[in-house]
């Protein structure tokens, strides 16, 4: 299993994804501010991974506190949670992870639990969320594997693999599960400009798993669909609205439209905590705008003329009408998504 992140006695260890695929190095975050930096700088990325990372960040902040009374510690927890919440706006899993640990802290503080016991329990919770992420994605993978063709090429966009989670992955977890079930599948990974998560990360982890993978440029998907080469497309998600509209890495919307035009199933794979019932539709999802330098420079080398304007939204929203199914650890959701999501939420 690819060790994306790990709680250690010294702090939280992160595989530095900005250095992949050429260098496998680790960054140790010893306080919550460093965890926030790791998330903000995309040393760790992917909705599922940053959700658990944020939970570990809150736990680390509480564990490291020198507060001797609950009012002081509670004030510190407010700052810790606000700092981590301010790192990236789109992936709802980030706020879910923070809330999981904060809610536990609130319950324990209300019961006047001794601070040493609080510190122990929040760390136990953060590590349990890590284990549950891996277990849930194996369940998700099994549900999704049944939807993929017995053989053929599957297209994926960005990286929704083990690197985007605590292990196994969502979209790539479905692909892994399908291959484990005996299906003869190979993968087209598009590059996913401008941060190149497909070229750097998806290709890297699939090659490590000996899964046949072909890297294509983002603007080649339509060509290969027209040639009949692609039998299905599957992506992850950073936030799914209550009506099924889905925010994922920029370029996902274009892939979904191409799939619709060519009659190719387009699947979204994400744990249920990626669904934000408080967000009614895609128009209400905040879209992160990232640094222009990600577009103007490649490996530190400027590739654009001085003075040109740059737009760099990190995500786009795919309307639910383009999504064939949403795969979760609880089962497969289908249209009308407002109804199927609400029904699953009640289970």
Annotated catalytic residues are 238
Residues 299, 305: Cα–Cα separation, whole Å = 16
Contact present, 255 and 223 (Cβ < 8 Å):
no
Residue 297: how many CA atoms within 13 Å on its side-chain side? 7
CA-nearest of 125, 136, 175, 126 to 5 is 126
3-state secondary structure of 66: coil
Distance CA 267, CA 326 (A): 6
> Is the C-alpha dihedral spanning 314, 98, 29, 125 positive or negative?
negative
For every residue of 244-290, DSSP letters joined together read S-EEEETTHHHHHHHHHHHT--EEEE--GGGEETT--SGGGS---B-
């Amino acid at each position: 299993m690819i060790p994306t992140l790990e709680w250690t006695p010294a702090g939280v260890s992160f595989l530095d994804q900005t250095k992949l695929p050429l260098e496998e190095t680790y960054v140790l975050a010893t306080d919550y501010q460093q965890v926030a930096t790791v998330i903000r700088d995309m040393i760790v990325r992917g909705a599922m991974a940053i959700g658990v990372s944020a939970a570990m960040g809150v736990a680390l902040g509480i564990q490291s506190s020198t507060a001797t009374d609950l009012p002081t510690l509670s004030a510190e927890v407010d700052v810790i949670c606000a700092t981590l919440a301010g790192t990236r706006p789109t992936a709802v899993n980030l706020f879910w992870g923070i809330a999981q640990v904060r809610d536990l802290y609130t319950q324990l503080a209300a019961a006047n639990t001794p601070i040493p016991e609080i510190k122990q329990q929040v760390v136990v919770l953060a590590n349990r969320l890590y284990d549950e992420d891996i277990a849930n994605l194996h369940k998700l993978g099994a549900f999704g594997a049944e939807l993929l063709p017995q053989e053929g090429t599957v297209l994926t966009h960005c990286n929704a693999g083990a690197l985007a989670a605590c292990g196994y992955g969502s979209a790539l977890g479905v692909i892994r599960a399908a291959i484990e079930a005996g299906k003869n599948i190979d993968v087209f990974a598009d590059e996913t400009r401008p941060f190149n998560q497909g070229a750097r990360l998806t290709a890297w982890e699939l090659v490590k798993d000996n899964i046949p993978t072909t890297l294509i440029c983002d603007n080649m998907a339509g060509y290969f669909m027209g040639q009949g080469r692609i039998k299905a497309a599957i992506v992850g998600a950073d936030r799914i609205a209550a009506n099924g509209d889905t925010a994922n890495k920029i370029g996902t919307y274009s892939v979904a439209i191409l799939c619709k035009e060519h009659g190719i199933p387009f699947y979204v794979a994400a744990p249920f905590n990626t669904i934000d019932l408080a967000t009614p539709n895609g128009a209400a999802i905040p879209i992160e705008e990232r640094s222009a330098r990600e577009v103007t420079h490649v490996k530190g080398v400027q590739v654009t003329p001085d003075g040109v304007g740059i737009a760099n939204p990190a995500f786009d929203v795919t309307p639910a009408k383009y999504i064939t199914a949403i795969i979760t650890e609880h089962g497969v959701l289908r249209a009308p998504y407002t109804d199927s999501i609400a029904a699953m939420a009640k289970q």
